[in-house]
């Protein structure tokens, strides 16, 4: 394990085996969603998990000295989010998906999720992992195809020999939410 500095902040690198374990967990999680195994997917979340998708908005520069920091384009913690869910809300969303009453998912989409650019580091202790990654989700149904691209920040906890998702932050590479209310990334 080594400590390095990236973007002005200390990072605690993970061992290669830990990196592989985390990546394998996240790939299997994506497979559960692609296979519509939502109950199993929900079991991967901590009881107090948070799933957040901020709103992204265009903005103009505030002058020549503006640093164009992308965080200025995102809704803050105290502002409206595209999605801010905890486990009970995620469970309710999955229940609606499985009920057949979610019109955007009836018939369901055929999906394929691709995850890449994994940056895994310890988040303060050996059993907490902070993971940055990129995703591409391709969906197809009834002659319609959609591609959704973005990035994620996940906090994983090692629990009883496995992992649980404590926090997920999803950022779409778009300024609008035009894919329906039930996209799970």
Residue 180 belongs to a domain: no
Answer with the residue of higher pLDDT: 181 or 165: 165
Tokens in use for 107? 């018939």
Looking at residue 5, what is its pLDDT?
A: 36
The answer, yes or no, to whether residue 41 has pLDDT greater than 80, is yes
Residue 178 belongs to a domain: no
Residue 136 belongs to a domain: yes
Residue 184 belongs to a domain: no
Residue 185 belongs to a domain: no
The answer, yes or no, to whether residue 96 has pLDDT greater than 90, is no
**Averaged pLDDT, 18-43:** 97
Answer with the residue of higher pLDDT: 33 or 58: 33
% of residues, the chain, pLDDT over 70: 75
What's the mean pLDDT when you consider all of the chain? 84
CA–CA separation, 101 vs 153, rounded Å?
Answer: 30
Looking at residue 183, what is its pLDDT?
A: 73
Answer with the residue of higher pLDDT: 160 or 182: 160
Q: Which domain holds residue 50?
A: 8-172
Domain count for the chain = 1
Residue 152 belongs to a domain: yes
Residue 181 belongs to a domain: no
pLDDT tens track for 153-178: 999 999 988 999 999 998 888 765 56
Determine if the pTM surpasses 0.85. Answer: no
Backbone angles phi, psi at 44, to 5 degrees: -85, -5
Residue 27 belongs to a domain: yes
Looking at residue 121, what is its pLDDT?
A: 96
Identify the CATH number of the domain in which residue 131 sits. 3.10.450.50
Answer with the residue of higher pLDDT: 76 or 8: 76
């Amino acid at each position: 394990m080594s400590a390095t500095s990236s973007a002005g902040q200390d990072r605690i690198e993970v061992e290669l085996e830990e990196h592989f374990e985390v990546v394998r967990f996240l790939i299997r999680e994506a497979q559960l969603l692609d296979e519509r195994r939502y109950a199993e997917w929900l079991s991967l979340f901590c009881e107090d998990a948070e799933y957040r998708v901020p709103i992204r908005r265009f903005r103009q520069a505030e002058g020549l000295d503006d640093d164009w920091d992308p965080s200025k384009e995102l809704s803050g913690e105290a502002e409206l989010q595209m999605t801010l869910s905890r486990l009970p809300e995620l469970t309710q969303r999955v229940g609606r998906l499985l009920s057949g009453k979610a019109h955007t998912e009836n018939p369901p989409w055929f999906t394929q999720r691709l995850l890449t650019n994994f940056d895994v580091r310890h988040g303060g202790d050996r059993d907490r992992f902070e993971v940055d990654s990129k995703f591409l989700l391709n969906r197809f149904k009834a002659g319609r195809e959609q591609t959704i691209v973005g990035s994620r920040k996940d906090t994983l906890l090692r629990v009883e020999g496995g992992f649980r998702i404590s926090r997920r932050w999803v950022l779409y590479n778009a300024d609008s939410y035009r894919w329906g209310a039930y996209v799970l990334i």
